[in-house]
Chain A
Amino acid sequence: MSLLEIQDLKVHFETDDGAVRAVDGASFSVDRGQTLGIVGESGSGKSVANMTILGLTQSPITSISGRIMLEGRDLLEASPEELQAIRGEEIAMIFQDPLTSLHPFYKIGKQLVEAIQVHKDVSKQAARERAIELLGLVGIPDPEQRMGDYPHEFSGGMRQRVMIAMALVNDPKILIADEPTTALDVTIQAQILRLIQRLQEQFGMAVILITHDLGVVADVADYINVMYAGRIVEAGTLDEIFYDPQHPYTWGLLGSLARPDRPRALRLSQIQGQPPSLLAPPQGCHFRPRCPYEFDKCKQTPGLEPRSGTAGHLDRCWLPPDKKRSLRVVQGDQIGLEVPAA
């Protein structure tokens, strides 16, 4: 049994125009010490799926189905009090924008102490000492003095360190990081990714890293889920996704990248058109309208199954594996979709 197992999760939001199917049947799992990267573009459902794990998408217009099993308990059945205890204590989350996730009126120290005292019955002094220890652990110089500073006195990278410290206060089993480095510069991004990796090794956490950046997942993830229009379209190990991708959407993603480590290609391979509306996604395969290799069978929804010949490597594409390997376009050593003519 995995530490966290999500089974056929569906999250639909009822609107005046109909149901928005933000997550439409996602299944994945993550274990201690593993890093799962979830990659997708905006609107693919990657954030909604993970916020649902923490019960953050519950509202009168939301309908949620499926199972979210944390060590055998179903979090979708948990009461608000139980969820409150799980949030921060067993599963912690850090967000993209560290400025809006910290309260601007309170000193960093007070916010950290509060986070500790909500979950643990300790004295203020003990909580304060723990907070200083954590700030030091995430690499903030002069932690004792910085406890008295307000969020605006920290730089973007330092704020994200504070958020990580806050996420770690109760030694969570799972850390969900939603685009943790997207707002940061590359040199600071590298510092924060190293920090998350170091802390994961130290505490044996499971990390779910949500990002749109294939470079970031290539750097830190063990397993990758590629999401498109509410569904996971491909799941596999790092090497499987990068060197033997099975789904045409994954080819498109890999091919669209302008690589910093390759001499200039003449033209980028690109995915035509735009992602579908989640109010009325296409029948069958959601990538069908943009896929150059669409055929009759694509009107039926392909399941997320092992199709490539490797047990753990799953995808949702009806094409036979030999055909996939011959269809995907290789430019230099970069896999992609077809390259459009000028």
Chain B
Amino acid sequence: MTDVAPAATDGARAQGGLLEIRDLVKHFPIKSGVLIDRQVGAVRAVDGVTLTVKEGETLGLVGESGCGKSTLCRTILQLIPPTAGSVRFEGQELVGKRGRALQPLRREMQMIFQDPYASLNPRQRVGQIIGNPLRIHGLASGDSLKRQVNELLERVGLGPEHYNRFPHEFSGGQRQRIGIARALALRPKLIIADEPVSALDVSIQAQIINLLEDLQDDFKLTYIFVAHDLGVIRHVSDRIAVMYLGKIVELGPAEEVYSNPIHPYTLTLLSALPIPDPKANAARNPIIPEGDLPSPANPPAACRFHTRCPYATEICSQEEPPLVNYGNDHWAACHHPLHREHPEAVRAALPELTREPA
């Protein structure tokens, strides 16, 4: 029931943001009590995220499990209503809209899911699955529907012979192609891909990544690409956002973040990842953080990474660092930015990353 302020529309356009996310918060209540539900706490899955996604770019979102990546995707699409904050798509406020009011916007924003086994209805044929969005939005029926579905099948590397088959007749990679065709059916502007390749084998991953990149060029798509695989993220992304316990800790152009990480969490992620090159692996001096990820129900105060950070000092447990622009559109939320205070640690941990390409 929120009204859209018309003035904001022009503002967002002027900044070139297709999607504008402001202070987005999603808390899941923890309840207790027998007769009366009492809220005793909250899992702070997304805790104040501000992001702009530009038209035509791929924004990579990385972080460990439980950092809130998937919840962020779902709250952006209003699949789960956010607790607070604002999401504007082409200037239109999404937060507060429900049901039919969202339907026209859903045409513009689609999602590709991680698990190609769970995200396709096992009792529907491929033709139905891909045709459903077109039918529901009243865009095609009869022969025209069938023709459009066949075009989509062909576009994602399947054929008309697959039209009448069921999902269980396909391999994981082929199912992911079906999920991609379904997301493309409405010709959306934005596709949120939540770990689209992590359930697939390496050789099939490359096929799907290449397909997604071709489709981006052909259909002028904007992607939010979620993955925990830092190799995949580097390959597909123009910009990267690193999340830790519900907050964005670093944000910047992909090459900047990889060759010049500012936040210690980004550095630990990059240096803990074994790379498929034995000599380069041996040359590194990885920073492996102690301990586990803290619970998002009870995150550490101030800087949330201070409990695992090798460079933490007193201030880190007292004051929350703001997300600061260090130039080149490279943002980080840290009291001790690595490039200023510990450049030698970055070089030791990632000699091959910081090396200038030949």
Contacts and interface: CB of A to CB of B under 8 A. Distances in A.
Interface of A: 41-42, 155, 157-158, 185-191, 193-194, 212-216, 218-220, 238-239, 242, 252-265, 267-272, 274-275, 340, 342
29 contacts: A41-B203, A187-B64, A187-B289, A190-B274, A190-B286, A190-B288, A215-B275, A219-B274, A254-B276, A257-B202, A258-B209, A258-B234, A259-B231, A259-B235, A259-B277, A260-B231, A260-B233, A261-B275, A261-B280, A263-B234, A263-B357, A264-B234, A268-B210, A269-B206, A270-B203, A271-B203, A271-B206, A274-B173, A342-B214
Given A190-B286, A253-B203, 15 more contacts: A158-B292, A186-B230, A189-B274, A191-B288, A218-B278, A258-B206, A258-B236, A259-B277, A261-B350, A261-B353, A262-B234, A264-B234, A271-B203, A274-B173, A342-B217
B274 A41 contact: no
Contacts of B280: 261
Best-buried of A158, A187, A190, A238 by chain B (most CB within 10 Å): A187
B228 interface: yes
Contact of B201 (A42, A220, A262): A42
Given A193-B274, A219-B281, A261-B353, A185 B64 contact: yes
A267 B231 contact: no
A39 to B, nearest CB: 9
B214 A268 contact: no
Contact of B228 (A185, A242, A268): A185
A242 B206 contact: no
A261 to B, nearest CB: 5
Interface in B30-45: none
Interface residues on B, range: 35 or more
B57 to A, nearest CB: 13
Interface in B144-200: 171, 173-174
Interface stretch (B11-19, B265-273, B310-318, B329-337): B265-273
B83 interface: no
Interface string B251-291: 00011001000000000111011111111110000101100
Contacts of B64: 185-187
Contacts of B171: 274
B65 interface: yes
B50 interface: no
Contact of B281 (A155, A158, A188, A218): A218
Best-buried of A238, A261, A267 by chain B (most CB within 10 Å): A261
B203 A215 contact: no
Given A185-B228, A190-B286, A265-B235, A270 B207 contact: yes
Given A242-B277, A261-B352, A256 B231 contact: no
B84 interface: no
Contact of B269 (A186, A253, A342): A186
B288 A268 contact: no
Contacts of B270: 260
A199 B31 CA distance: 43
B276 A256 contact: no
A225 B206 CA distance: 22
A261 B65 contact: no
Contacts of B201: 41-42, 212, 275
Contacts of B277: 218, 242, 259, 261
Contact of B278 (A212, A238, A255): A238
B288 A260 contact: no
Interface string B217-241: 1000000000011111111100000
A186 B206 contact: no
